[in-house]
Amino acid sequence: MKLTDLLYVPQLDLLTPQTLFRIQAARARVGTVKRGHILLPPSHLMFGRFDLLGLPVGYFAESPETAAFESLFRREADSVSLAVLAKRSLLCVQSTHSLRLLDLRPHTQSWPVLQSLRFAHTQALAAEAFGEGFAGIVYRSAQQYGMDCYALFGDALGFLKASWRKPLLEPGTGNLHKVVVAAQMGSQVMLTP
């Protein structure tokens, strides 16, 4: 998929201070790419919808619940382990600089590939958008109807400031964060040990 395949190429200026959320590993592991408090998988894995080879891409959502649906309580999931939840946290960040993003939301209905699992197409589009100077992409969530998600490329991650970070499973008590409870209820995905 190429930018020229789209009838028009809208942009969105992500203004300051925009609040975004992500579910991420609670601690860095070997190979983790760190951008302040943002912990990302190695950039050569190419597991994400808009990943770029050799450049970190951070995925964010407009709400904590959308972040939970996108990362853990996906529609193809049958269960989510409490052990996995214990290793994850909810991160809230705010933008500190205006960022120019490719806005794919108007194309969602005409281009189902934008929400499919055929990532080679969307990764090619992301590479072209990056080459055209976009700092990232705003797109519709494939997991929660009507909600927006953001993929921010490389240096754009430096324009995000962490506001807070909370564990999804409270150490010691085992209490679930309210975002986990809401996502589990909405998705009806089972929790397992």
Q: Is residue 193 in a domain?
A: no
Q: Is residue 156 in a domain?
A: yes
Structure tokens at 122: 């969307």
Pairing label, strands 19-25, 38-40: unpaired
Range of the domain at 116: 3-188
User: According to DSSP H, which parts of 72-134 are helical?
Assistant: 82-85, 119-131
Q: Is residue 148 in a domain?
A: yes
Q: Is residue 127 in a domain?
A: yes
Cβ pair 84, 168 in contact under 8 A: no
- Domain total for the chain? 1
Structure tokens at 117: 């699992």
Quick one: pLDDT at residue 132? 96
Structure tokens at 172: 């010691």
Quick one: pLDDT at residue 118? 82
Residue 51: exposure state from Cβ atoms within 10 A (0-12, 13-18, ≥19): buried
Cβ pair 156, 99 in contact under 8 A: yes
Structure tokens at 2: 């190429």
Report the length, in residues, of the chain.
193
Quick one: pLDDT at residue 117? 77
Closest among 6, 7, 2 to 129, alpha carbons compared: 2
Q: Is residue 147 in a domain?
A: yes
pLDDT tens for the chain, residues 1 to 193: 888 898 889 999 999 999 999 999 999 998 899 999 999 998 888 889 999 999 999 999 999 999 999 999 999 999 999 999 999 999 999 999 999 999 999 998 888 888 877 899 999 999 999 999 999 999 999 999 999 999 999 999 999 999 999 999 998 898 999 999 999 999 999 999 9
Predicted TM-score of the model (pTM) = 0.94
Q: Is residue 121 in a domain?
A: yes
Structure tokens at 121: 């197409």
For residue 11, what are the CA distances in angstroms to 34, 37, 99, 144?
A: 27, 27, 10, 22
